[in-house]
Amino acid sequence: MNLPRPSAARLLAGLLVGASALSGCRLLPRTGPAPAELAQARRLANEGLAAADRNELDQAQRLLDRAVRSCPADVEARQHYAEVLWERGERLAAVDQIAAALRHSPSDPELCVVAARMYTEIGLLDDAERLAAEATRLDTGSAAAWRVHGQVALARGQDREALADFHRGLALAPDDRGLLLDTATVYRRLDRPQRVLATLAILGETYGADRVPADVLVMEGLAQESLGRTADAIASYRRAVETNGSAEGVERLAALTVPAPAAVAASPAAAEPRR
């Protein structure tokens, strides 16, 4: 579903609206006793998450919408609702839900991370940076917080700052696949193919030899090309194509293995008359 891009003013205004603007059940700590409304919301939210796990996103959205209506102040239900809406491509609605959750729980580092990631992807980098910084302040031991802080820097073209954030995240979660892929991406932007390959080697170990995703294999091939290792690059692209028919893998494989038309025309075989 294609939705209009929200204005920064609208989103920022949504974040600043006081919690008193919402009515309904009382917001309790996530570990506290649950009133009837909150218990109902959690039941519906759990059913919605189960539907999402089955990839039944329509049903998940309906259940999570009911959960939020049952208890508008339930932070967890709103977060899960926002994530399902985001997955369905309803980005404006997702941002509205995560903003409402933040109004109720502004000091929740997990919510700050989710919101910062959404804002980064829709290009609201000032708001994303503020939320990412708040997440790292609230939880300095969160690898996810350092990752999203780095992603904001990367979106701003601040490659070295992003790399420092990703390294801080990897110090906390050395096998985090997202952090490893982001780190390899920065090394590629910095034209450091050896470091790209070293990082992807660690990432590959988290999947196993026959389960490495095609996009990782393509990045591996690009780094090998940069180092002049054509045979290795071809092998990586072939594995990418065999994995899921990677379009980029097909393109790079053709560029390295199919002779250019000029070269074919100039070859002795092409010049020899057909008998």
Q: For the CA atoms of the chain, what is the radius of gyration? A: 24
**Rounded (5°) CA angle 136-22-11:** 50
Which of 220, 222, 219, 212 lies closest to 242 in space, CA to CA?
212
**CATH class, 1-18+35-106 region:** mainly alpha
| DSSP structural state of residue 20 | G
* pLDDT tens digits, 25-36: 434 444 444 578
Q: Is residue 15 very low, low, confident or very high in pLDDT (cuts 50, 70, 90)?
A: very low
Two tokens, residue 4: 């209009």
Say how far residue 145 (Cα) sits from the centre of its chain: 13
Q: What are the residue ranges spanned by the domains of the chain?
A: 1-18+35-106, 109-173, 192-258
109-173 CATH fold: 1.25.40
Q: Which of 2-6, 152-156, 196-200 has the lowest mean pLDDT?
A: 2-6
Query: For the whole model, what pTM was predicted?
Result: 0.79
Q: How far is the C-alpha of 126 from the C-alpha of 78, rounded, in Å?
A: 23
For residue 132, give both structure tokens: 């990412």
Asked if residue 274 has pLDDT above 70, the reply is: no
Are domains 1-18+35-106 and 109-173 of this chain identical in fold?
Answer: yes
What phi and psi, each to the nearest 5 degrees, are found at residue 76? -65, -45
